[in-house]
Structure 1
């Protein structure tokens, strides 16, 4: 079972980058499923040079990986996966790799689905290594562990916000006392 799943369909214009951001717990698997929803204007079907580049950035802003997606992929779709090392806000940026096709403001219609926390047992179940009941138990166990990690991440973020709120309150009280004293 997935902890979280987001699917988007949108238009990409040449030269413009679109970015998506999501808070992700530590130690979970992110799987991205992409697909071209219509032919790319001006690009031959067998092109291995033109399509969309997906760049993933970690919470610290560092580039983690780049995935090139091409229209000639099987059924014009594909997937990628990434395991998170730290919790925080991950950024997924998409940009066309084309350089000539949008002379009259045409766009690429593109779809991206991000599944955060999908268990790896899906592939094992295809090989009949896991029976139905055992698979359900493992799915529930893994989902609960991922949920606990997500709660811990949220708790840490709340603690940071509380600390900064206390600091601001202290400064306000100090400034008020100081201004009354000087008056």
Structure 2
């Protein structure tokens, strides 16, 4: 039995209805660097590489790498700290990426992260975003000035090739 090979543009893909979401093992990665110009590109590249290495789909790795680059650029321009971290955590709900200048290991749990408006003002804490839908970067600060930008994306559904016409 032979298979036909199509040349030209790749076939379009459609989500498989009611298919289970892709899920990779629970993992946590932390990459730390100095808070300096152009380290945002290093952090974005590290995020893309780490996600690709664990088997995340290329579009997801690219999107989260871009989010890490933007978050690190913001942090480098606004942080008073000398170092910052990229943190990537995977679980059954998806991938959570954080770029933060909070490097201390909390003794009594995490610090009080408060949401911040686009102009830098604290706002009333909101419930955590649902882990079943994709959302943009969330900016938070602690009362003592530490910064955290986070992004969560759920695992994508598998795709099935569309039949050739």
| TM-score, with structure 2 as normaliser | 0.28
Q: Which has the higher contact order (CA 8 A, sep 6+)?
A: 1
Structure with the higher fraction of residues in helix conformation: 1
| Structure with max Cα Rg | 1
| TM-score, with structure 1 as normaliser | 0.26
Structure with the higher fraction of residues in strand conformation: 1
